[in-house]
Amino acid sequence: MFKKLWAVILSASLLTACGSYSEDSSAVNVQSESSSVMIQSDNSDASAPSAQPEVTTAGQQEEKKADGMQIVVGDKQFSVTLESNDTVTAMTEILPLTLDMSELNGNEKYYYLDTALPSAPEKVGHISEGDIMLYGDSCLVVFYKSFDTSYTYTKIGHIDDTTGLADALGTGGVTVIFEMVGSSDTEYTVQDVRNLCDFLLAKPTEEDLRGKPYDLDNDGVWSVFDLCLMKRKILE
């Protein structure tokens, strides 16, 4: 009797976690590099995903506390870990930004913002690939190569995974989107749910999804867990 009662409670908690969203199709297996997740229609007996997201340790959560921004170049997205300073606070208030950045020295892209930001320049000594910094009080710089420097910058953040960054930025001018991701202020619609669901099922979408704030758990990829979080926000 106790086992049956526990099974009912567990099933109810799993149903609550992802909310409710009806699909006129049978169960579909969605394959990713690390897991296989099943999305089940509401009229089926099975209602919970067959794989759960990995549990992050306290140390990993601490490392991700400052996350929340990404840059988008073409169809590539790069997550950014931000510094904790007045420059970052002021910059996040004017996001999102779509900037036509210029090339300089074969190692950086830059753009002079219309608005000056608070700055606290320092001699950084060394630039690492993926550094994002402020030169002066208005020149936003993305570095795609590592080198030593005598110049002073205010640190903004660093791209977590720079794989493909140099190729995405190219050798000339390039359009770069700076945006916050996973913000609690973002309002999602049923269309956003359909967009993300179609993406996970590898279906064509009517609109361009580049730059969409669909990485709600800030892990750098769009997954079924993001879909669950999105549906929960809508239900709330």
- Its domain, for residue 210, covers 181-236
Shared domain for 168 and 188, answered yes or no, is no
Shared domain for 131 and 222, answered yes or no, is no
pLDDT score for 229: 86
Residues 6+ apart with CB under 8 A from 22: 41, 42
Number of domains in the chain: 2
pLDDT score for 182: 58
Is residue 13 in a domain? no
Shared domain for 71 and 128, answered yes or no, is yes
End-of-domain residue from the set 142, 163, 180: 180
pLDDT score for 210: 78
Shared domain for 89 and 172, answered yes or no, is yes
User: pTM for this structure?
Assistant: 0.53
pLDDT score for 1: 52
Shared domain for 98 and 196, answered yes or no, is no
Residue listed under structure tokens 């758990």: 217
How buried is residue 28: exposed, middle or buried, by Cβ count under 10 Å (0-12/13-18/19+)?
Answer: middle
What parts of the chain have a pLDDT lower than 50? 2-67
Query: What's the count of helices (H) and strands (E) in the chain, helices before strands?
Result: 6, 13
**CA–centroid distance for 158 within its chain:** 14
- Give the dihedral sign, CA 178/221/131/157: positive
Please check whether residue 177 is in contact with residue 72, taking contact to mean a CB–CB distance below 8 angstroms.
yes
Is residue 195 in a domain? yes
pLDDT score for 234: 83
Shared domain for 176 and 195, answered yes or no, is no
Shared domain for 196 and 167, answered yes or no, is no
CATH of the domain at 90: 2.40.100.20
Is residue 14 in a domain? no
Shared domain for 156 and 88, answered yes or no, is yes
End-of-domain residue from the set 180, 202, 223: 180
Shared domain for 192 and 171, answered yes or no, is no
Shared domain for 176 and 68, answered yes or no, is yes
